[in-house]
């Protein structure tokens, strides 16, 4: 029943996801997009509310415009595919948590297709402008923009890398009690 190799392959897959901000111009294949959507579709939500929708943007002008809005989405300008997460706008706490789950799943599905991805984040007026630009009703919450595309490894290697930019495990794990 248990297959240690399969388990370790999955764990390695989960561990290796990293943000990619530099993309090649190649389009994201339709089959990969279909898989991203299938994985997104099955992401769990609080009490199975599925309180989100997605807007896929591939027309170059749109990601470029979104990338300049208030927030942190500059990487979207060079991404062949942008995915805009549209949350219902009814329950900030649960929707924000589920938005994080959804973003993580889509990024992992992209990784499975050797596609890089990065989370963009709109703030203040940037959120309202994005809704206006995309025809999204004003009561919705539009905050997360995912950039997706094949990694530009040359541009990526040109950036300085921190080889182990995470706290050691013992710095964040407590057993039975915090203190």
Integer Cα distance of 48 and 71 in angstroms: 30
In three-state secondary structure terms, 92 is helix
Closer residue to a copy of itself in complex, CB, 28/119: 119
Quick check: 15 binds a copy of itself (CB under 8 A)? yes
Per CB under 8 A, the segment of 20-28, 73-81, 151-159, 170-178 that binds a copy of itself is 170-178
Sequence-ordered list of residues with C-beta below 8 angstroms from that of 145, at least 6 positions apart, any chain? 66, 73, 76, 82, 83, 84, 85, 119, 120, 121, 122, 130
Residue ranges in 78-117 that form contacts with a copy of itself under rule CB under 8 A = 86, 93, 96-105, 108-109, 111-114
What's the closest the beta carbon of residue 63 comes to a copy of itself, in angstroms?
A: 11
Instruction: Please classify residue 158 by burial: count the beta carbons closer than 10 Å to its beta carbon, then call 0-12 exposed, 13-18 middle and 19+ buried.
Output: exposed
Binding residue for a copy of itself (CB under 8 A) from 76, 81, 136, 146?
136
Closer residue to a copy of itself in complex, CB, 62/67: 62
Sequence-ordered list of residues with C-beta below 8 angstroms from that of 162, at least 6 positions apart, any chain? none
Closer residue to a copy of itself in complex, CB, 70/104: 104
Closer residue to a copy of itself in complex, CB, 68/100: 100
């Amino acid at each position: 029943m248990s297959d240690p190799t399969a388990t370790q392959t999955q764990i390695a897959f989960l561990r290796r996801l990293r943000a990619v901000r530099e993309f090649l111009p190649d389009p994201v294949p339709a089959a990969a997009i279909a898989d991203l959507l299938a994985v997104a579709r099955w992401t769990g939500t609080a009490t199975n509310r599925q309180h989100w929708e997605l807007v896929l943007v591939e027309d170059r002008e749109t990601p470029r415009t979104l990338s300049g809005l208030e927030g942190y989405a500059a990487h979207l300008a060079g991404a062949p595919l942008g995915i805009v997460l549209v949350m219902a706008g009814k329950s900030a706490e649960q929707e924000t948590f589920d938005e994080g789950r959804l973003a993580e799943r889509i990024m992992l599905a992209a990784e499975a297709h050797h596609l890089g991805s990065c989370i963009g984040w709109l703030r203040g007026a940037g959120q309202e402008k994005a809704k206006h630009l995309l025809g999204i009703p004003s009561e919705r919450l539009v905050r997360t923009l995912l950039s997706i595309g094949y990694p530009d490894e040359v541009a990526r290697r040109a950036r300085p890398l921190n080889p182990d930019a995470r706290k050691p495990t013992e710095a964040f794990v407590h057993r039975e009690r915090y203190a």
